[in-house]
Amino acid sequence: MSKPKQDEINRLLPLSLPVFHILLTLMEGERHGYALKRAISQRTDGKLNLGSGALYGSIDKMISAELIEESEERPDPHLDDERRRYYRITALGRRVAEAEAIRLRDLVRLAETHLKLPKLA
Amino acid sequence: MRGSAKVYRWLLRLYPARFREEYQAPMERQFLDEYRETQSHWARVQIWQRALLDLASSIPKQRVCELWLDLKHGMRAYRSRALSTVFAVSALGLAIGASTGVFSVLNALLLRSLPFVHPEQLVELWMPAVGPLSGRAAFTAGIRQSAYLQGAAAFSSSEMNLSGGRDVLRVKVAETSANFFSLLGVNPAVGRTFLPDEDILGHNSVAVISYGLWQQLFDGDPHVTGKLLHLNGQLLTVIGVAPASFDYPGTTNLWIPTIFDVEKVPKRGAFLMQTIGRLKPGVSIRAARELFAAEIRHLHPPFTTRMSADERNNPHITSLQTQLAGPVRQAGWALAGMTLLVLLTACANVAHLLLSRVTERRQELAIRAALGASRARLLQQLTVEAMLLTMTSAVIGLLVAQWTCTLASSFVPAQLAAQQYTIFDWRVLGFACLVAIAMGVVFGSFPIGLAGRTRTTVNSMHSQQGLRELTPKRTRATLIGLQAALTVCLVTNSLALGRTFLHLLHVDLGFQPASVVTLNVALQGTRHYGHGEWAYYSEVLQRLRSIPGVEAAGAVSHLPLADNIYMAGSFKLDSGQTMQSIVTNSVTPDYFRAMGTRFLAGRDFARGEWRRSEASVIVNEAFAQAAGLGDRIVGRRLIAPWSRTTPYRIRGVVGTTRFGGPESEGVPEIYWPIQEEPPPILTLVAKVEKRPESYLALCRDAVRTVDSQVPIYDAKTLQRRLTEALARPKFYATATSTLAFLGMLLAVVGIYGSAVYSIAQRRHEMGVRLALGASQRRIRAMILRESARPVLVGMVAGVILAVASERGWESVLGSAAGVTFWACGAAAALLVSAALLASWQATERVLSIDPAEALRSE
């Protein structure tokens, strides 16, 4: 697979909050939709509780932008409902998530300088 | 639990098809997981609350996204067939435009409410027993006793001279009862309307002026009330200004409460008193008629004996709206019918286009179906594509409709046109969109019936057999037959109407409208009124005659084409023969010369002839024929009903003029010398050398030099009056021929497209035939035969339809439009030859078939 170009990555930035969180969660491994929702809710202390419409709307967009893809590997069908769909992050997804993180970091640095906030450890 | 799952599943159906197919199952699963994990009712209520909010925000987003995708896809697909798409879109656009335009007019005329309070309760009625002529007391008492009327108002319209502002104006005045405005529910823009007792003698020197007159005379002065006006010499006080949109009846400029005191403002000739009423709530027109008939039976004999049996049994109560729509009503429906035919023809074309597109895209559809795209998904996409086509057409249609409305406003009856109604409104926009959406849905779902079969043909995508299954021949033949039938009907009707119109153009009017200038003067309220009329008129005529280039000048009390109310009466010839319903008119010497009316016998009035002891008259040819005397009538004597002792001598016979224009018939007429009793209003007529338009200003100035205080109005060439009289038949002829041309064009393209399509479909079969030795000529003949069959069937149906529609046109035009054998034959021949030509052109493609290549494609 060819390396995604910087232009292609920049075109996708900035990411919406749900998209960024989905990417971050999928960095940890494949997840199905409901697991994604729960993980995001937990890591944001319940502040970002995605409804299924918003979640799958974001997933749909991310699949067409090739940030994530559907995984064909499934756990043992006896343990899982076949209606569940599993997703994993793509190489482009990783690069985009990193680029977004850097963008946000730069933004925070800028804000810290301007607002004279104490630096985080 | 199960109920909640069901409801949620049902709500998921609101997502667009692709998204639903992709995510319905996991979404449902997720909802259930979440639901299961909570125990309390309150928590479940919260889950529902969140779910509903989530759906409400994400469904529209997904809908827009998918619509955009489908649109992009559709545009790409149409771009590959640009020419036929442009044609189908513009054809449909024209058809939608035409039908929207016609609908707008119908809407304005028949469906839209009048700008009055509860217009459905308003009726026009004719009550000879208790009409306004019986006096105020009898009229109001009669209405009060009525079981079906809440109230009624009377009015009568006439033209009068108005002074008080800067100029003397000729204005249209409605003499009304005091309750006229309150009955209609119209409030004034400034001041007030009439008080209940203001139609009583001695209280009625007040007037309400129209918004236009307020602007013109008083520059919109808000303190206009209390200002004084002179109407035909009578002093009136302005009490209010009517709202801008109100000028009922007709184009009224001024309302005065003098209907029960008709002598108050002097005016000339006959006037028509009309009564409008407001029905009691819940009383239908039919019920009102029955109650009217019952009331008549209880009336005193002196009243009922005044009425004929017909009047007693068929009370005249009509809805005001129907009354105002008048004769245009039926024409409107007939035109709407024709436009609908064109719309159907255009629809058939678009159906053709989409049908062939589905066939062309059979591979794409089959692959998508095989990959799991549901029927709903394919239906959605095809519908969006069809909607893209029809909505674009609707936009074009709206532009066309704007133009159609402007055109149509030329034939809206004066009563409505003058009321400043905007014909084009949002309802029309709604109509256009509705048509577009309906077509989109129909055209979208129509090919899916065929596309649905793609699952079965996916394995035989490349086989010609599979292809043939997709496009039933019968559907195409039916579409062609339908187009042919509609076109023959359209063309036949337009030929018949065109012929009627041509006939009207060449009809002998009894006068020569070329190079004649006409202008009206009115003396009421001026210093000439009452005694100096003739002195003024003869001075004016002299001035006109002295203009270089004026060949003859005369005057007439009732000019043909001017839509006057004129008098008719019975006269007796010296032989004792009585002549009934003879129209009387008065003219000056030279009037006939100016009008180009021929003298068939005898001579014109000589100047000063009226001073002779034996007065002279001139009659027209129709009169002489009705008397059975022909030219021999010259020199005979005539007794008028008002002068039993002094007979008149008939001095000449002139050609019969068609008073009401080319559509009317000539009637027996007598002409008096105008000097005998000079009317206060007349029309001056001047025959000029050439280019009468350039003489209009000259003539007007010449008349003004005699007395600038006399209003001059309606200065027009006679030719223009004729054009105005012909406006309606011209509109019908133009509209129908345009529609017929459009229909014919659509049908021909449809037939051509069908033949091309049929050849493309059967390329393989033709390849086999050619390989087996069939000549290209034979194959072309076969295709022509196949194309001709549905056209011929449609043609027969079209002729039957045309003959059936004749009666409709008969009622529209007042005479038979003449759907003749000739018109039917011409329409059929036109269509068949166009169809054959189109098919022949299409079969050129047969020549390009290479048998080897056609067989290889198998």
B26 and A49 in contact by Cβ < 8 A? no
Nearest to B757 by CA among B349, B367, B460, B387: B349
How far is Cα B155 from Cα B174, in angstroms, rounded to an integer? Answer: 6
Query: What distance in Å separates residue A3's CA from the closest CA in chain B?
Result: 28
**Which parts of B13-40 fold into alpha helices (H)?**
17-37
Q: Which pair of structure tokens corresponds to residue B637?
A: 């004597």
Q: From the candidates B18, B22, B30, B32, which should be mutated to test the interface with A, based on the most A CB atoms within 10 A?
A: B30
Chain A and chain B share a number of CB contacts under 8 A equal to 57
Cis ω before B249 (30° cut-off from 0): yes
Q: Which pair of structure tokens corresponds to residue A99?
A: 């680029």
Q: From the candidates A37, A38, A52, A68, which should be mutated to test the interface with B, based on the most B CB atoms within 10 A?
A: A52
A83 and B25 in contact by Cβ < 8 A? yes
Query: Is beta strand B228-231 parallel, antiparallel or unpaired with respect to B616-620?
Result: unpaired
Q: What is the pLDDT of residue B256?
A: 92
Contact B185, B209 (CB under 8 A): no
In sequence order, the 6+-apart residues with CB closer than 8 A to the CB of B495 are B740, B823, B826, B827
A53 and B31 in contact by Cβ < 8 A? no
Query: Is beta strand B568-573 parallel, antiparallel or unpaired with respect to B637-640?
Result: antiparallel
How far is Cα B841 from Cα B469, in angstroms, rounded to an integer? Answer: 26
In the chain, the amino acid numbered A11 is R
**Which residues on adjacent β-strands are paired with residue B156?**
B175, B273
Contact B489, B692 (CB under 8 A): no
Nearest to B10 by CA among B55, B54, B42, B50: B55
B50 touches chain A (CB under 8 A): yes
Contacts of A47 in chain B (CB under 8 A): none
Helix B41-79 to helix B17-37 angle, to the nearest 10 degrees? 170
Residue A2, H or E segment: none
Q: From the candidates B19, B29, B31, B65, which should be mutated to test the interface with A, based on the most A CB atoms within 10 A?
A: B29
Query: What distance in Å separates residue A71's CA from the closest CA in chain B?
Result: 14
B51 touches chain A (CB under 8 A): yes
CA B274 to each of CA B14, B174, B252, B315, B588: distance values in angstroms, whole numbers, following the listed order: 59, 11, 15, 14, 34
Number of neighbouring beta carbons within 10 Å of residue B16: 20
Name the maximum alpha-carbon separation found in chain B. Answer: 120
Whole-model pTM above 0.80? Answer: no
Q: Residue A117: helix, strand or coil by DSSP?
A: coil
How far is Cα B580 from Cα B593, in angstroms, rounded to an integer? Answer: 28
Contact B858, B464 (CB under 8 A): yes
Mean pLDDT by 10 residues, chain B (858 residues): 84 87 86 84 88 92 87 83 76 77 67 69 73 76 81 86 74 90 90 89 87 85 89 88 82 88 71 83 84 69 52 68 67 72 76 69 75 76 80 82 70 46 58 72 66 46 43 73 84 80 83 90 82 88 90 90 68 83 87 91 79 79 87 85 76 88 84 85 90 88 87 86 79 77 79 74 78 82 84 88 73 58 81 82 74 66
Which stretches of chain A sit within 8 Å of chain B by CB? 32-34, 37, 49, 51-57, 59-60, 81, 83-85
Q: Say which of B28, B29, B50 has its CB closest to residue A51.
A: B50
Residue whose structure tokens are 């969109």: B433
Q: Which pair of structure tokens corresponds to residue B457?
A: 């043909």
How far is Cα B656 from Cα B659, in angstroms, rounded to an integer? Answer: 9
In the chain, the amino acid numbered B628 is G
Contact B851, B771 (CB under 8 A): yes
> Which residue of chain B is at minimal alpha-carbon distance from A58?
B58
Dihedral in degrees, nearest 10, Cα atoms B386, B390, B391, B392: 110
In the chain, the amino acid numbered B40 is S
Count the residues in chain A: 121
Residue B78 or A2, more confident: B78
How far is Cα B674 from Cα A103, in angstroms, rounded to an integer? Answer: 100
B61 touches chain A (CB under 8 A): yes
Q: Say which of B22, B31, B61 has its CB closest to residue A52.
A: B31
B38 touches chain A (CB under 8 A): no
Residue whose structure tokens are 């039926």: B330
B54 and A53 in contact by Cβ < 8 A? yes
Nearest to B385 by CA among B447, B451, B440: B440
B29 and A54 in contact by Cβ < 8 A? no
Q: Which pair of structure tokens corresponds to residue B329?
A: 């009503």
Q: Say which of A34, A49, A57 has its CB closest to residue B58.
A: A57
B64 touches chain A (CB under 8 A): no
Cis ω before A14 (30° cut-off from 0): yes
Query: What distance in Å separates residue B26's CA from the closest CA in chain A?
Result: 5
How far is Cα B137 from Cα B6, in angstroms, rounded to an integer? Answer: 74
Q: Residue A89: helix, strand or coil by DSSP?
A: strand
* SS3 labels along B487-524: HHHHHHHHHHHHHHHHHHHHCCCCCCCCCEEEEEEECC
Contact B699, B544 (CB under 8 A): yes
How far is Cα B265 from Cα B158, in angstroms, rounded to an integer? Answer: 11
B27 and A59 in contact by Cβ < 8 A? no
**DSSP type of residue B318:** E
A56 and B28 in contact by Cβ < 8 A? no
Contact B835, B481 (CB under 8 A): no
B57 and A53 in contact by Cβ < 8 A? yes
> Which residue of chain B is at minimal alpha-carbon distance from A84?
B26
Q: What is the pLDDT of residue B420?
A: 42
Q: What is the pLDDT of residue B286?
A: 83
How far is Cα B352 from Cα B386, in angstroms, rounded to an integer? Answer: 12
B456 touches chain A (CB under 8 A): no
Q: Say which of B26, B34, B53 has its CB closest to residue A83.
A: B26
Number of neighbouring beta carbons within 10 Å of residue B445: 14
Contacts of B54 in chain A (CB under 8 A): 51-54
B27 and A34 in contact by Cβ < 8 A? no
**Which residues on adjacent β-strands are paired with residue B578?**
B572
B724 touches chain A (CB under 8 A): no
Q: Which pair of structure tokens corresponds to residue B851?
A: 């048998």
Nearest to B794 by CA among B489, B569, B514: B489
Q: What are phi and psi of B517, to 5 degrees?
A: -105, 135
Contact B206, B236 (CB under 8 A): yes
Burial of B654 (0-12, 13-18, 19+ CB in 10 A): buried
**Which residues on adjacent β-strands are paired with residue B273?**
B156
Residue whose structure tokens are 């066309």: B400
Contact B383, B441 (CB under 8 A): yes
Q: What is the pLDDT of residue B462?
A: 43
Q: Say which of B29, B34, B58 has its CB closest to residue A53.
A: B58
Nearest to B105 by CA among B421, B434, B432: B421
CA B605, B608, B614 angle in degrees (round to 5)?
75
CA B168, B174, B180 angle in degrees (round to 5)?
140
Q: Which pair of structure tokens corresponds to residue A97?
A: 């998530």
Contact B596, B648 (CB under 8 A): no
**DSSP type of residue B166:** S
Residue whose structure tokens are 């009525």: B146
Q: Residue B581: helix, strand or coil by DSSP?
A: strand
How far is Cα B461 from Cα B359, in angstroms, rounded to an integer? Answer: 11
Q: What is the pLDDT of residue B592?
A: 92
How far is Cα B438 from Cα B26, in angstroms, rounded to an integer? Answer: 35
Q: Say which of A34, A37, A56 has its CB closest to residue B23.
A: A56
Q: What is the pLDDT of residue B618?
A: 92
CA B654 to each of CA B632, B650, B827: distance values in angstroms, whole numbers, following the listed order: 13, 11, 42
Q: Which pair of structure tokens corresponds to residue B492?
A: 């036949």
CA B83 to each of CA B79, B89, B749: distance values in angstroms, whole numbers, following the listed order: 9, 10, 12
Query: What distance in Å separates residue A56's CA from the closest CA in chain B?
Result: 7
Residue whose structure tokens are 């909802």: B31
Q: Say which of A51, A59, A84 has its CB closest to residue B29.
A: A84
Q: What is the pLDDT of residue A68?
A: 93
Query: What distance in Å separates residue B449's CA from the closest CA in chain A?
Result: 30
How far is Cα B224 from Cα B88, in angstroms, rounded to an integer? Answer: 58
Query: What distance in Å separates residue A95's CA from the closest CA in chain B?
Result: 26
A53 and B55 in contact by Cβ < 8 A? yes
Contacts of B34 in chain A (CB under 8 A): 34
Query: Is beta strand B316-319 parallel, antiparallel or unpaired with respect to B516-522?
Result: unpaired
How far is Cα B346 from Cα B483, in angstroms, rounded to an integer? Answer: 9
